[in-house]
Structure 1
Amino acid sequence: MHLTRFRINTARLGARGLLASPQRLHAAVMSSFAGALPSETNSSRTLWRLDRNAKAEVLLYIVSEDRPDLTHLVEQAGWPTTASWQTYDYGAFLGGLQTGSTWAFRLTANPVHHVRRKDGDLTKRTAHVTPRHQMGWLLARQEAAGFRILDTPPERRRLPEGDEFQLTVRDERRHRFEKTDTQGGRATRVPLVTVTFDGRLEVTDPAALRRTLTLGLGKAKAYGCGLMTLAKAV
């Protein structure tokens, strides 16, 4: 497995077009692999995420089995003469995860649930739209995903009662784009709500967490969701 980081030059016109469309950016990511056919999404084995740390600092992260070639992205949305991208061997890091170790994490996800408007109707996938429900979505998946989000120490809690977690939700974004039905060829408008989670976790099941880090968490992986990364907790 490989972890790749690429800084996007937000001043370039090509970058603005990519940042405005998860569809276009997904296509650009998949074009980084010589063995991928244009019709293949391959999203189950290739994850990507945008980190918008500041207006002029936007980072693209990619987790993939194959090593990507981002030359086209450098030419379209980078610094062709002065900067490139960095790709790291992810396997050694994944293999070193141990039960009980703690990490800071970041995850961009599409928190959804299924609702039935009235009796007899089919359930419909609907986005969670409040931070409390978005946090609840992640908390409900942590055990199966191989980690436990750490509690906030009592002395740092804002409220004297109740559980608080070392978890924040930010950068909610709402997209709406057309998706073509492969069978009928009809285009439908697809809504997509994404949020970014930052927090601290403890590893409870290294094997399950390795699957989470390489296969993603939740829906809409083709559109920049599901990629969790870890960093040393400070």
Structure 2
Amino acid sequence: MYFSRISVNPTDPAKVMEVLKANDYALHQMLWKLFPDDPETSRDFLFRHDEDQRWPVFYLVSQREPDGSDELLRVASKPYRPQLRSGETLTFSLRANPVHTRKTDDANQKKRKRDDVVMHLKWQYRQSNADAVPALAELAQEAGEQWLVRQGERNGFRLLSVRADNYRQARLDTRRRNIRFSTLDFTGLLQVTEPDVFAETLCKGIGPAKAFGCGLMLVRRI
């Protein structure tokens, strides 16, 4: 595995503007071009789109080392082999697509629907005849924390503290279909409970919508 930091070469303002205006799907396609050796291979990388002093920057975890010959993108890569200990505490940052999965047809056990956890929690408050539905920021914190606690139970970590914010609903129009998904940004502290499982989680990601910049967890020792 490789961990890469990818920045944009500012010498071509027109191309930089294309990156700044691109949606998550277009960014995924742009980053996929960094792996030209086997164009038929399925996506085998996670990415996170961020900013550094208002300039776009991308973090990648990939099975293959990205090609650094692109004139627009500056690639800095290193081998990625997380060395973890049970019980150690790490800070983390995660952009995820948290969903609640439910059955839609009792006669077909394989049929499932994914619901935005924030909107699902809002619906639950309304169904319970609560006196007041919390504000969106409170719903995002409550629903996001509940979701990440469950993720930790099966992905080798225990959540110690978390802030869930920057709730966003996205809509992407691609050639094949219209895609809608939501994202939350998580920051906080976690404790490693199963080092091997968590190391795999750092490489494979958390939750759906990985092709649109979700699921890559960045961690750092305190």
User: Is the TM-score greater than 0.5?
Assistant: yes
Q: Deviations over 1:77-133 (max 9, x none)?
A: x5xxxxx33211112xx1x21101111111111011135689999653121233111
TM-score using structure 1 length: 0.74
Partner of 2:15: 14
Which residues of 2 match residues 19-168 of structure 1 at below 5 A? 19=20, 20-37=22-39, 39-40=40-41, 42-43=42-43, 45-52=44-51, 56-72=54-70, 75-76=71-72, 84-91=74-81, 94=82, 96-115=83-102, 123-129=112-118, 130-131=139-140, 132-150=142-160, 166-168=161-163
Give the direction of change, closer, same or farther, for the CA distance of 1:16–1:112 in structure 2 (3 Å limit): farther
In structure 2, what residue type is equivalent to 1:145? N
Residue 107 of structure 1 contacts residue 229 of structure 1 at CA under 8 Å; is this kept in 2? Answer: yes
Letter paired with 1:47: L
* CA distance in structure 1 between the partners assigned to 2:63 and 2:101 by the alignment: 32
Please say if residues 4 and 75 of structure 2, whose CA atoms lie closer than 8 Å, have aligned partners that are also in contact.
yes
SS at match of 1:140: helix
Identity of aligned residues (%): 30
User: Does the 8 A contact of 1:105 with 1:199 survive in 2?
Assistant: yes
Unaligned runs of 5+ residues in structure 1 are 79-83, 151-165, 181-186
The one-character-per-residue Cα deviations of 1:122-167 (angstroms, maximum 9, x if unpaired) are 65312123311122111111021111111xxxxxxxxxxxxxxx21
Segments of 5+ residues of structure 2 without an aligned counterpart are: 119-138
- Asked if the contact 1:103/1:201 (under 8 Å) is kept, the reply is yes
> Which 4+ runs in 1 deviate beyond 4 A?
115-123
**Shift of the alpha carbon at 1:57?**
4.1
Give distance in 2, aligned partners of 1:226 and 1:118.
28
Q: How many residues align?
A: 197
Aligned-partner SS, 1:190:
strand
* SS of equivalent to 1:32: coil
1:178 aligns with 2:173: yes
**Shift in Å at residue 51 of structure 1?**
2.2
Q: 1:222 to 1:62 in 2, by over 3 A?
A: same
Distance in 2 between the 1:200 and 1:212 partners? Answer: 16
Q: Specify the SS of the correspondent of 1:86.
A: strand
Counterpart contact for 1:108–1:194, Cα < 8 Å: yes
